[in-house]
Amino acid sequence: MKSVVTSAALFCLAATTATAQDAQKPTADVPLMQEEALPAGIDHAYRGPWEYFVGGGAAALDCNGDRLPDLFMAGGEESATLYVNRSTAGGALRFEAKDSGVSDKDLKKVLGAYPLDIDNDGFKDLVLMRLGENLILKGGPECTFRKMNRAYAFDGGKAWTAAFAANWEAGQQFPTLAFGNYVDRAAPGSPWGTCHDNDLYRPAGGEEPDYSSRQPLSPGFCALSMLFTDWNRSGEPALRVTNDRHYYRGGEEQLWKIEPDSAPRLYSRADGWEHLTIWGMGIAEGDLEGDGYPEYALTSMGDTKLQVLDSDADEESPVYEDIAYDRGATAHRPYEGTDLKP
């Protein structure tokens, strides 16, 4: 009888253990990734003190027309590096560092980069966000680039730039450029409550890009991400800005109305825009409900927001409700393991 009881107990223990293991398995597909940077030829690091904590990353673009994504990687205090994709279909990843044609001085202090074809010549250009002067690099054949700030009458400023967005406004041959700036390090009392204004550059008329027109987007609340978005399907994208509450005082998330031939204007409480204060880091949009209107994911310190346009609001009123908890999109705890912090 004793052996029967022992066997039953062992069976129950095994069943309980298996059930617990099954319960810990993610319910959705989880991609399995493995580190291949060094074998692929990428030996790069993004380094620097606190001014570089909010930067980093890479821009993917095809800069030589072979239909493979090449990589331009920010380096912070180190030099940014261009890696050309030499991989073959079905083979191992292989990248090769290449001289971009840009001076080493201009390749330092880079926090991020965005690829876009500014001058419509078929080659991807690069906009570099820097700790200091921002740069426009014109792309050319075989992954070559050259600095175009003077040729485009573009004043890159001296700010600490952490965000960028671009949009072709109606009737314009060249894109409007928006730069989001972080802490004004030169202001008294920095870094607390000393956020820098953001900048909007609209192209002047002509056959070549001319960015001599620079408009401040004030107030700035230490922007970390920007997104041009047609939030109400009007055909005129607005500029959404997510801001870091860690340094601003009296700030909030922002939405700018950007109309052709008009000065930028912030949406206010009178327009339906509601006060939202988060450690805003990133923005992504997608039509999750299939109704033609974009929803927005706003990353924060674990408290991710997922916003949907209020169906009862007027079509000119940007009134949003948060559905992150209802959709299971909060990220306040890791979905596996024992760590309780995001």
Q: Is 18 domain-assigned?
A: no
| 253-290 residue pLDDT tens | 999 999 998 999 999 999 999 999 999 999 999 999 99
In a domain, 44, yes or no: no
| Separate counts of helices (H) and strands (E) for the chain | 3, 20
> Could you give the CA distance from residue 303 to residue 50 in angstroms, rounded to a whole number?
23
Whole-Å CA distances, 322 to 82, 172, 240, 284: 40, 35, 16, 14
What's the pLDDT tens digit per position in 100-125?
Answer: 999 999 999 999 999 999 999 999 99
Domain count, the chain: 1
Q: Which of 11-25, 120-134, 241-255 has the lowest mean pLDDT?
A: 11-25
96 token code pair: 């090769």
Mean pLDDT (whole number) for 210-218: 97
Q: What is the DSSP letter of 53?
A: T
Over range 308-322, report the average pLDDT: 93
pLDDT at 337: 80
In a domain, 35, yes or no: no
28 band by pLDDT with thresholds 50, 70 and 90: low
Count of residues for the chain? 342
The answer to whether residue 23 is domain-embedded is no
Tokens of 305: 């927001």
Q: Which residue has the tokens 């010549």?
A: 121
CA distance 102 to 133: 14
Contact 190, 183 (CB under 8 A): yes
User: How far is it, in rounded angstroms, from Cα 143 to Cα 163?
Assistant: 24
Residue 206 lies in a domain: yes
Domain-located, residue 145: yes
In this structure, the strands spanning 238-243 and 254-257 are antiparallel
Burial class (CB in 10 A: 0-12, 13-18, 19+), 151: middle
- Computed over every residue of the chain, the mean pLDDT equals 91
Does the CA dihedral 49-52-54-56 come out positive or negative?
negative
Is 290 part of any domain?
A: yes
Q: CA angle at residue 9 from 8 to 10, to 5 degrees? A: 90
User: What pLDDT does residue 10 have?
Assistant: 38
Domain interval for residue 152 = 57-322
State pTM to two decimals: 0.89
Of 41-45, 55-59, 131-135, minimum mean pLDDT range: 55-59
Residue 318's domain is classified under what CATH number? 2.130.10.10
Could you read off the pLDDT of 64-90 as tens digits, one per residue?
A: 999 999 999 999 999 999 999 999 989
